[in-house]
Amino acid sequence: MNQQAGFDPISWAVVDDRARGVFRVHRRAFVDQQIFELERERIFSRCWLYAGHVSEVAQPGQFVARPVAGRPLLINRDRHGRLHVFFNSCTHRGAMVCRENAGRARNFSCPYHGWTFADDGRLVQQPIPESYSPACNAAGELNLREVPRFDEFCGFIFVSFDAHAIDLADYLAEAGDYLRMASEHGAAGAGMEILGGTQTYCAKANWKLLQENSADGYHADTTHASYMDYIKAREGAVLNMYTAKGFGRVRNLGRGHAVSESIWGTPWGRPCARSMPSWGEDIKAELDGVFEQMAGRLGRERADFICHGDRNLLIFPNLVVNDVGALTVRTFYPSAPDYFEITAWALAPRGESQRLRDLRIRNYLEFLGPAGFATPDDQEMLELCQRGYQAHAGVEWNDLSRGMLDEDGDSPAKQDELQMRTFWRRWRDLLAGAEV
């Protein structure tokens, strides 16, 4: 392996030998500053990225402000109900015009020099306006600047910083239907909403490790053994599911997206329509009713797939929808090769009963919350990997070959690593300059 300054991350990063069933990723992909800069330029500046949910700005005047790929954004719905996504930066000298994370506002005023912008982005006030030439804003140059592209799909708001990005629906490919399924929960079909209580935390590791981990069906029995013991003690039995061939499958959904899904019941309940013995008969009766209403609205086959299976959906590069014991939306953005920040939200059907909502929140916090059974375990594993990569000159490669000889079959197994190879192939192609 060439370890000199002329290291080419594109040529060397991925070994993809389909004939032999060997797939490896060089560990410099997790530690190299040059690779990190290429990711910012060729992935995060060009791909569609999740920014928010329409329920967060459902009413005229509502806004949320958050960073996306290091860029401060302001998502709002103006007084006429139109959705906007602006850069949260004054066009005068650059200060952020909104310092609150969420709220309602009819205008946004820069705290530095007092420039004021209407909720549709128009510059409406400047101190001493007679000091400015009419040419300064003749074509709206000083209005708040919208991101080059934004769109909404089944309630999920995405942005792209590339004005020439392909349409969002085309970008999502087959993953679009899985996002649609995440929007179809609930008896009434009244839509979905992000719940309060955003979770934000960080990891001293490379961001791609969480993308790998989020649909890794191979690690649960060891990394999450305490959770499996807890479920067994609570419910009386638990399937050794992640080593049970045929329990579930992984699928390549195109353009780097993938899903890992179970195709029959896991040992935890789902407050959309799958009860557990410990929840009691009243909850079971209510959830049976939810399922029947969903079946009437969506058809029994689709309702059965949504309610009685589980799925971890990976939208390239960094959106994960964990549709398991609860519905969790997670994004993660790097600020260095060995550091990234994670944000997670709970998504729920509008109008569900209070006791189902309570179960949903409990499931969300119990497993995937920052202090839940899974997340601290996973975070420790990611950071242990990152520390291990300091030995990359002696141990150079990660192996992701599990199930590779079977990956073109009808149903690659849930514990296989197809979803990771799908990500890495897209990552390699984009860093090499391929079109998004």
**Alpha-carbon 337 to chain mean position:** 19
Alpha-helix residue ranges (DSSP H) falling in 299-369: 300-308, 354-363
Helix axes 281-298, 354-363, angle to 10 degrees: 100
**What are the phi and psi torsion angles at 124 (to 5°)?**
-115, -10
3-state secondary structure of 326: coil
For the purposes of burial, counting CB atoms within 10 Å of the CB of 292, is it exposed (0-12), middle (13-18) or buried (19 or more)? middle
Kind of pairing, strands 199-203 and 339-349? antiparallel
pLDDT the model gives residue 20: 95
Burial of 345: CB neighbours in 10 Å, binned 0-12, 13-18, 19+: buried
Query: What is the C-alpha separation between 220 and 383, in angstroms, rounded?
Result: 17
Q: Where are the beta strands (DSSP E) in 210-338?
A: 248-254, 257-262, 310-315, 319-323, 327-336
Sign of CA dihedral 327, 324, 313, 296: negative
427, 317 contact by CB (below 8 A): yes
Query: How many residues are listed for the chain in this entry?
Result: 436
For residue 337, CA distances in Å to 184, 376, 399 come to 37, 20, 20
What is the structure's pLDDT at 243? 45
**The pLDDT value given to residue 242:** 45
Taking the CA of residue 138 as centre, how many other CA atoms within 13 Å lie in the half-sphere pointing to its CB? 4
Q: Measured in Å, how far apart are the chain's first and last C-alpha atoms?
A: 30
Domains of the chain listed by start with CATH number: 49-160 (2.102.10.10), 175-431 (3.90.380.10)
What contacts 220, CB < 8 A, 6 or more positions away?
A: 228, 241, 242
Residues of the chain where predicted confidence (pLDDT) is lower than 70: 1-10, 237-247, 263-267, 392, 410-411
Strands 192-194 and 156-160: unpaired
3-class secondary-structure state, position 46: coil
For residue 252, give the 3-state DSSP assignment. strand
Please say whether the beta carbons of 288 and 245 come within 8 A.
Answer: no
pLDDT for residue 265 = 56
CA proximity to 233, closest of 244, 225, 221: 225
Q: Which of 423, 426, 428 is nearest to 11 (CA)?
A: 428
Tokens of 289: 């009713």
**Listed residue (433, 424, 436, 368) closest to 397, CA to CA:** 424
Residue with tokens 């197994």, as numbered in its chain = 413
What does the DSSP 8-state code read for residue 41? I
Strands (E), 182-232: 192-194, 199-203
- Dist. CA 50–CA 73, nearest whole Å: 12
13: burial class by Cβ within 10 Å (0-12, 13-18, 19+)? buried
Closest by CA to 349, choosing from 273, 429, 264, is: 273
